Amino acid sequence: MVENIEYEEALKKLKKYGQEHILCRYEYLDDERKEKIINQIKNIDFDSLIDLFNVTNKSIKKLEGNVTNIDFVDKEKLTKEEYETYYNIGKKEIEQGKYAVLTMAGGQGTRLGCVAPKGTFKIGGGIEKSLFEVLSETIKEAKNKFNARIPWYIMTSRENNSATEKFFEKNDFFGMPYEDVKFFKQGELPMLDFNGKLILDETGIIKLASDGHGGVFESLDKNGYIEDMKRRGIEWVFISGVDNVLAGLVDPIAVGLAIKEGTLATGKSVVKRSPDEQVGVFCKKNGRPYVIEYTEITEEMANARNEEGELLYGESHILTNLFNIKAIEDIAQNKLPYHKAKKKAKYMDENGEIIKPENPNAYKYEKFIFDAFESLDNMSILRVKREDEFAPLKNSDGEDSPDTARDLYIDFLKRKEKGLIK
């Protein structure tokens, strides 16, 4: 039960920030939701939230600083000797149980239009496997190959955590040891309408949204999983999204490269298809690793080529990165910046009606994992073949859809069967 005094304090706090409208449905809420919304109000740091609204509203992000291209190693062009050197270094780490996989599965999958967690989505067309199952197979295969224990950490959101856990239980953890699959929820922030006002979710409490894949480091830390990794002797964590069917989750070359180059991270890249492809690319900014987003890159840079005729800024970031545990610990202590994204957010209006907007109506605030790169002194970049390691599933049809991901997956399996994949 909410005490009157608690309600009054919440109202006072809201009035200070011009947000008292958010209690307009309070009297219609049941006790549980009354308690929830009062707790939400107690916990929101309104000064920071309003700052965020004002700062991110100011301008479009412009590229500043001294930007140069970044060195990379092309996996395909390694000599036999180089390949074996990196491979053997990495293999040893994996065999010694120092390697873990982390899958970020806290997104909403709005473009794909799935209501259930995206990882439960089946790619279909004869492949009746969910994304989680496909990823679990990649891990299990590596476990057998290296005869190693490879724990799997899965970042979920408040919205999809319980459905994700239930899905794993129903599928008997896809044969992974139960104690080696760990779920943790990512952080959340309130959404704001275009006037900086809080909105209600469909149940009448404050609408929150997950804080982006860059929230992974802080959430790992908050949930005690950095400690868990250290206890297990984990040195290397491969972090990627749930929606890349071909993600090379266990890669000795990526580890070997980082160790040989003395870096604390390896980012995998694929060659940008054309100067105007809408992807972020690896580069260096003021001497540190950085990803320039497609909205930031100038036409001149996008078209610049080296002596061999390759794009100078052509190493696309595909959200498949390996981090050393020390880097993860450090990044978790640094606050990454927030970016705003316009979203169509379902909400409850002051009359209790649920509104499903046709156009974006609210801002979601997100951190991006690649903003963490700037805090590293250096980073290794490993160029991999697109057709071997990148089959994203973003849209319900067209590009990067179940159809394209499935075709790439089937083609990969065929080549693998013929022994054409290293």
Residues within the interface to ligand UTP (CB under 6 A): 104-112, 118, 155, 186, 210, 212-213, 241-243, 366, 394
CB of 210 to ligand UTP, least distance (A): 4
Sign of torsion over alpha carbons 144, 128, 417, 393: negative
Q: Is 62 exposed, middle or buried (0-12, 13-18, 19+ CB in 10 A)?
A: exposed
Q: What distance in Å separates the CA atoms of residue 247 and residue 249, rounded to the nearest whole number?
A: 5
Q: What distance in Å separates the CA atoms of residue 254 and residue 29, rounded to the nearest whole number?
A: 52
CB of 201 to ligand UTP, least distance (A): 16
Of the candidates 177, 322, 176, the one whose C-alpha atom is nearest the C-alpha of residue 250 is 322
Q: Choose between 241 and 280: whose C-beta lies nearer to ligand UTP.
A: 241
Q: What distance in Å separates the CA atoms of residue 176 and residue 143, rounded to the nearest whole number?
A: 10
CB of 345 to ligand UTP, least distance (A): 12
Helix (H) or strand (E) holding 93: helix 80-95
CB of 84 to ligand UTP, least distance (A): 33
Indicate the SS3 state at residue 214: helix
Token code pair at residue 59: 């301008």
CB of 248 to ligand UTP, least distance (A): 15
Q: What distance in Å separates the CA atoms of residue 392 and residue 111, rounded to the nearest whole number?
A: 12
Q: Are 316 and 279 in contact (CB under 8 A)?
A: yes
CB of 292 to ligand UTP, least distance (A): 17
Q: Choose between 57 and 110: whose C-beta lies nearer to ligand UTP.
A: 110
List, in sequence order, the alpha helices (H) in 199-351.
216-222, 225-231, 252-261, 299-303, 325-333
Q: Choose between 155 and 291: whose C-beta lies nearer to ligand UTP.
A: 155
Residues whose CB falls within 8 Å of the CB of residue 103, separated by 6 or more in sequence, listed in order: 119, 135, 152, 153, 154, 155, 240, 241, 242
CB of 232 to ligand UTP, least distance (A): 22
Indicate the SS3 state at residue 367: coil
Q: At what angle do helices 4-16 and 31-43 cross, to 10 degrees?
A: 40
CB of 142 to ligand UTP, least distance (A): 20
Q: Are 91 and 142 in contact (CB under 8 A)?
A: no
Q: Choose between 156 and 380: whose C-beta lies nearer to ligand UTP.
A: 156
Q: Choose between 146 and 217: whose C-beta lies nearer to ligand UTP.
A: 217
CB of 342 to ligand UTP, least distance (A): 12
Q: Choose between 352 and 360: whose C-beta lies nearer to ligand UTP.
A: 360
Q: Choose between 98 and 317: whose C-beta lies nearer to ligand UTP.
A: 317
Point out the residue whose Cβ comes nearest to ligand UTP: 107
Q: Choose between 105 and 291: whose C-beta lies nearer to ligand UTP.
A: 105
Q: Are 187 and 210 in contact (CB under 8 A)?
A: yes
Q: Choose between 103 and 380: whose C-beta lies nearer to ligand UTP.
A: 103
